[in-house]
Amino acid sequence: MSDFNEATTPPPAPTGAAPQEDRTLALIVHLSGIVLGFIVPLIVWLINKDKPEKSFLNDQSKEALNFQITLLIVYVIGIILSIILIGALINLAAWVACLIFSIIGGIKANEGVAYRYPFALRLIK
């Protein structure tokens, strides 16, 4: 396996049943990305990163944070490319992807399933 594959392959999901409180917070973390971007996932991850009993919430907040950082990069590229008018389409597509995948992620997290976004840079491991 090459180094590139190891950098982009998502980490394995935590095993075991997550408490309802963690699942609800994971739902909020995923859905907050629609309006607030990476702020809420970052805060939740920073608060819970050293707590082993919060492994599900930690995993889902890292996943949401990585996705929101990826979207931020896409938004910046879209703003730069708005000079040639394709940037507006890129930003619209990124917003629709954020809306759809965040809702799916929130629903899956609330069910206790560790959700993996189909595309996200794995910057936070």
Residue 14 — φ and ψ, nearest 5°? -65, 150
Q: Specify if 117 maps to a domain.
A: no
Measured distance CA(55)–CA(14) in Å, rounded = 7
Q: Is residue 92 part of a domain?
A: yes
Contact in structure between 122 and 8 (CB atoms under 8 Å): yes
Residue 25 lies in a domain: yes
93 lies in some domain? yes
pLDDT tens track, the chain, 125 positions:
445 455 555 555 555 577 888 888 889 999 998 998 889 999 988 988 888 888 888 999 999 999 999 999 999 999 999 888 888 899 999 999 999 999 999 999 999 888 898 888 887 77
pTM for this model (two decimals): 0.80
Q: Is residue 121 part of a domain?
A: no
| In-domain check, residue 62 | yes
- Domain count for the chain: 1
What does the alpha-carbon distance between residue 36 and residue 9 come to, in Å, rounded to a whole number? 26
Look up the domain containing 33 and give its range. Answer: 3-110
Instruction: For residue 59, tell me if it sits in a domain.
Output: yes
